[in-house]
Amino acid sequence: MKQPPISGRYELQEVIGMGGMSVIYAAWDLKYDRPVAIKVLRAELGVDEDFIRRFDQEAQAASRMSHPNIVDLYDVGQDGDIRYLAMEFVKGSTLKDLIRQSGSIHPLLAVQMALRILAAVDHAHINQIVHRDIKPQNILVTEDGVIKVADFGIARAINQSTYTSRDGNVLGSVHYFSPEQASGKVVDEKSDLYSVGVVLYEMLTGQVPFDGETAVSVAYMHVNEPPVPPREINPEVSPGLNEVVMKALEKVTARRYHSAADMATDLKKAIKMPKGGFIPEHPEDAAERDARRARRKRNFLRAIRLMVSFLILIAVSAGIVLGVQWYRRTANATTVPAAVTFPREEAIQRLEGAGLNWYIEEKFDEDIEFGVVMGEDPEAGESVLRGDTVDLIVSLGRERIMMPELISMTRRDASLVIISSRLTNGEFVLVISDATPGTVIDQSPGAGEWVVPGEVVTLYVSGQTGFVPAVIGMPSIDEARAALTATGFKLGDVVEHPSEEPEGTVIGQTIEAGELALLGAEINISVAQAIPTVYYAEVSITVNVKNEGDVVRWILDEGTDEEKEVHNEKYGVGKKSITEELQSLRSGAHLLFVYVGGVLQVEKSVNFKERK
């Protein structure tokens, strides 16, 4: 037997997810005529106060948030023994599924996804909510590549400090929770950022940083063992991105990112500064480094004392050598010439002319044209020795990207490639094609073309098609609309035309019956309108034309708001007799106004009758 709609509103369709305390259904909202996801507390847990509290807790957390990267909560309710949440239905897959399918995600796309996750986490933290269960299984990716964070089932307000269940078990997913969750300690915003770091690690490498045979062994690793840097697993991970991940996975919360915004800022820096170096050294690391330097210094001084006797013996020789070196430095001194703003070859000639070597690093730049030097180190005017090397930074001009081949991909896969290529998804144009619906059959710009980052890409996608039904001859607009709707089309504009067919009969359609067209296309129709009766009157008017080429205009007033011009012609000077047979759709007497050269000369009543 089909289950009646929950609360008379939500019609359950199929199970799309199972959790520890709930079942998630695809459903239809009868009130707003839209798809929704219904999360229902498992019946066997409906008497457990702890699970009821956690279910209500999710509703309270979700109701405080509204963000494009967080699954929207539409409704909370109870129908008898059924407790439920009505949420936004997200069509797509989980991030976990995408990682399993691809093994790992390209670093650039992984960073873009992590930025959207951080935006959602930041919104939750601003609203005083700690998610506590960030993991790829709780992150949804739509068919258009939009990130949605879901499942606030164990979220807590930041000012609450109890983080274990009634039986003492730590809440969360062991592969993704923070060291403080593993230790049963107080959890705050930085715990979510640790979990985001684990998710980013898994996107980049295809594996979690810690894994073991038991949950206890994994928790132990989170607390005590350092992770293998992701760059050692995937060499495509840049040093800068590697630094961001390792900082997010710090064991001590004080050494971790303090906010989602801070982590997002460093992720953006990792794109612009892939060589890293933008994360400052932690004071404890600096202290350890200084201690090592001090030990080396003491050892060095000890060695110096042992060698002092020997140094005395060679002091004279050393003085001679130093003197020679000083002479050479003085004789070989030169000044770095200006190279910035000069073309590459000219800059090299200037350096070589000063007896200097050079090293070139090339970078893209939006403003400086190709081949022009935009930086040098040491700077112009500094004193150096002949033979020293000057580093030049030469512009590659505006960055260009070769447009990837997208044809034959699914619409979703093509969207992900566009995003990973640092391009922008534009319009999706549905076209008729023999290809499988949803397949890209053309693209603009074309594959192999050079484009700039952010370029908008239009995809032409094979749409579902059907044969247009015949509606000509149907007696009413409603019947034509029903026939079109039943076959997947829409009724467009309706135009009336005079016809001998019965009034309201369909007499034309814009796409002929039997033609193949995209489902959902609008089809315009024309319907019969009764042929109106035409009334006639023969009128003769004599006017006096005073100026050569004056225009004679007849204006007929039929009692409507619109002026009707029935004669307009130029004439020579003199009296002119003009005869016209006039027509009107209204019988009876109408006023006729005759203007010559813009001046009213005649006003006459004209009687219109049916032609015998």
CATH number of the domain that residue 325 is part of: 3.30.10.20
Per-residue b or e along 189-209, where b marks 16 or more CB atoms closer than 10 Å to that residue's CB: bbbbbbbbbbbbbbbbbebbb
Residues 482 and 555 reside in one and the same domain: no
Active-site residue flag, 133: yes
Residues 27 and 165 reside in one and the same domain: no
Which position has the higher pLDDT, 63 or 95?
95
Query: Does any domain span residue 405?
Result: yes
Give the best-scoring range by mean pLDDT among 181-190, 437-446, 555-564.
437-446
Judged by average pLDDT, the poorest of 168-182, 539-553, 579-593 is 168-182
Per-residue pLDDT for 67 more than 70?
A: yes
Tell me how far apart the alpha carbons of residues 136 and 147 are, in angstroms, rounded to a whole number.
11
Confidence at 601, pLDDT banded by 50, 70, 90: very high
Average pLDDT of span 32-55: 79
Tell me how far apart the alpha carbons of residues 499 and 358 are, in angstroms, rounded to a whole number.
87
Are 485 and 539 in contact, with CB atoms under 8 Å apart?
Answer: no
Average pLDDT of span 378-398: 87
Query: Does any domain span residue 296?
Result: no
Query: Does any domain span residue 442?
Result: yes
Per-residue pLDDT for 561 more than 70?
A: yes
Check 75, 133, 266, 550 and give the catalytic one.
133
What CATH number is given to the structural domain containing 33?
3.30.200.20
Tell me how far apart the alpha carbons of residues 506 and 492 are, in angstroms, rounded to a whole number.
13
Q: How would you classify the pairing of strands 129-130 and 156-157?
A: antiparallel
Per-residue pLDDT for 397 more than 90?
A: no
Average pLDDT of span 122-147: 90
Per-residue pLDDT for 163 more than 60?
A: no
Judged by average pLDDT, the poorest of 110-114, 148-152, 263-267, 296-300 is 296-300
Residues 322 and 369 reside in one and the same domain: yes
Tell me how far apart the alpha carbons of residues 198 and 73 are, in angstroms, rounded to a whole number.
26
Residues 111 and 201 reside in one and the same domain: yes
Q: Of 364, 398, 365, 394, whose CA–CA distance to 377 is shortest?
A: 394
Are 450 and 400 in contact, with CB atoms under 8 Å apart?
Answer: yes
Which position has the higher pLDDT, 356 or 168?
356
Range of the domain at 525: 466-529
Average pLDDT of span 352-376: 88
| Helix (H) or strand (E) run with residue 609 in it | strand 599-610
Query: Does any domain span residue 291?
Result: no
What CATH number is given to the structural domain containing 189?
1.10.510.10
The DSSP secondary structure of 306-368, one letter per residue, reads HHHHHHHHTHHHHHHHHHHHHHHHHHHEEEPPP-TTSBHHHHHHHHHHTT-EEEEEEE--SSS
Judged by average pLDDT, the poorest of 148-157, 205-214, 225-234 is 148-157
Query: Does any domain span residue 302?
Result: no
Per-residue pLDDT for 191 more than 70?
A: yes
Residues 509 and 458 reside in one and the same domain: no
Taking the alpha carbons at both ends of the chain, their separation in whole angstroms is 73
Confidence at 183, pLDDT banded by 50, 70, 90: confident
Query: Does any domain span residue 13?
Result: yes
Residues 487 and 387 reside in one and the same domain: no
User: Where among 441, 463, 485 does a domain terminate?
Assistant: 463
Query: Does any domain span residue 285?
Result: no
Residues 453 and 473 reside in one and the same domain: no
CB under 8 A, 24+ apart: contacts of 260-267: 260/118, 260/119, 260/121, 260/122, 260/125, 260/189, 260/192, 260/193, 260/196, 261/118, 261/122, 263/118, 263/193, 263/196, 263/197, 264/115, 264/118, 264/119, 264/122, 267/111, 267/114, 267/115, 267/118, 267/241
Judged by average pLDDT, the poorest of 104-118, 142-156, 206-220 is 142-156
Average pLDDT of span 579-587: 92
User: Where among 512, 529, 546 does a domain terminate?
Assistant: 529
- Per-residue pLDDT tens for 449-466? 888 888 899 999 999 989
Average pLDDT of span 534-541: 94
Structural domains in the chain (count): 6
Residues 474 and 449 reside in one and the same domain: no
According to the 3-state scheme, what is the secondary structure of 251-265? Answer: CCHHHCCCCHHHHHH
Q: What is the pLDDT of residue 527?
A: 95
- Per-residue pLDDT tens for 464-523? 989 999 999 999 999 999 999 999 999 999 999 988 899 999 999 999 999 999 998 999
Residues 343 and 434 reside in one and the same domain: no
Residues 97 and 85 reside in one and the same domain: no
- 3 state DSSP class of 133: coil
> How high does pLDDT run on average in the chain?
86
Are 357 and 351 in contact, with CB atoms under 8 Å apart?
Answer: yes
Confidence at 319, pLDDT banded by 50, 70, 90: low
- Per-residue pLDDT tens for 265-313? 999 999 999 999 888 876 665 556 666 676 777 777 777 777 766 667 6
Confidence at 322, pLDDT banded by 50, 70, 90: low
Tell me how far apart the alpha carbons of residues 94 and 564 are, in angstroms, rounded to a whole number.
67
What CATH number is given to the structural domain containing 605?
2.60.40.2560
User: Where among 58, 89, 120 does a domain terminate?
Assistant: 89
Q: What is the pLDDT of residue 74?
A: 87
- Per-residue pLDDT tens for 1-20? 468 899 999 999 999 887 76
Residues 85 and 102 reside in one and the same domain: no
Tell me how far apart the alpha carbons of residues 155 and 53 are, in angstroms, rounded to a whole number.
11
Q: How would you classify the pairing of strands 357-363 and 389-395?
A: parallel
The alpha helices in 387-506, defined as continuous H runs, are 411-420, 477-486
What does the angle CA 452 – CA 455 – CA 460 come to, to the nearest 5 degrees? 135
Half-sphere exposure of residue 65: CA atoms within 13 angstroms, side-chain side: 33
Which position has the higher pLDDT, 297 or 544?
544
User: Cα 546 vs. chain centroid, distance in angstroms?
Assistant: 72
The alpha helices in 163-213, defined as continuous H runs, are 179-182, 189-205
Q: What is the pLDDT of residue 145?
A: 87
Tell me how far apart the alpha carbons of residues 37 and 23 are, in angstroms, rounded to a whole number.
10
Residues 128 and 178 reside in one and the same domain: yes
Q: What is the pLDDT of residue 38?
A: 93
Query: Does any domain span residue 175?
Result: yes
